[in-house]
Amino acid sequence: MPEGPELHLASQFVNEACQELVFGGCVEKSPVSRNPEVPFESSAYHISALARGKELRLTLSPLPGAQPPQEPLALVFRFGMTGSFQLVPSDALPPHAHLRFYTAPPAPRLALCFVDIRRFGRWELGGEWQPDRGPCVLLEYEQFRENVLRNLADKAFDRPICEALLDQRFFNGIGNYLRAEILYRLRIPPFEKARTVLEALQQHRLSPELTLSQKIRAKLKNPDLLELCHLVPKEVVQLGGKGYGLESGEEDSVAFRAWLRCYGTPGMSSLRDRHGRTIWFQGDPGPLAPKGSYTSKQGPFKDTKGTERSS
> In the chain, helix, strand, coil percent, each to 5?
30, 25, 50
Please identify which of the residues 29, 54, 193, 242 carries the catalytic annotation.
54
Do residues 254 and 245 lie in contact, with contact meaning Cβ atoms separated by under 8 Å?
no
Q: Select from 185, 60, 149, 183 the least CA-distant residue to 174.
A: 183
Residues near 64 by beta carbon (within 8 Å), at least 6 away in sequence = none
| Catalytic residue status for 68 | no
Rounded Cα distance, 231 and 50, in Å: 19
Determine the Cα–Cα distance for residues 129 and 133; give it in Å rounded to an integer.
Answer: 8
Beta bridge partner(s), residue 136: 172
54 an active-site residue?
Answer: yes
Q: At what angle do helices 176-186 and 225-239 cross, to 10 degrees?
A: 120
Do the Cβ atoms of 247 and 309 come closer than 8 Å?
Answer: no
Examine the residue annotation and report whether 3 is marked as an active-site residue of this protein.
yes
Quickly count: other Cβ atoms within 10 Å of residue 48's Cβ: 16
Q: What are the residues facing 22 on neighbouring strands?
A: none
Angle at alpha carbon of residue 154, lines to 148 and 158, rounded to 5°: 100
CA distance 238 to 265: 21
CB 49 within 8 Å of CB 11: yes
CB count in 10 Å sphere of residue 215: 13
Contact indicator for 94, 124 with CB cutoff of 8 Å = no
Catalytic center residues? 2-3, 54
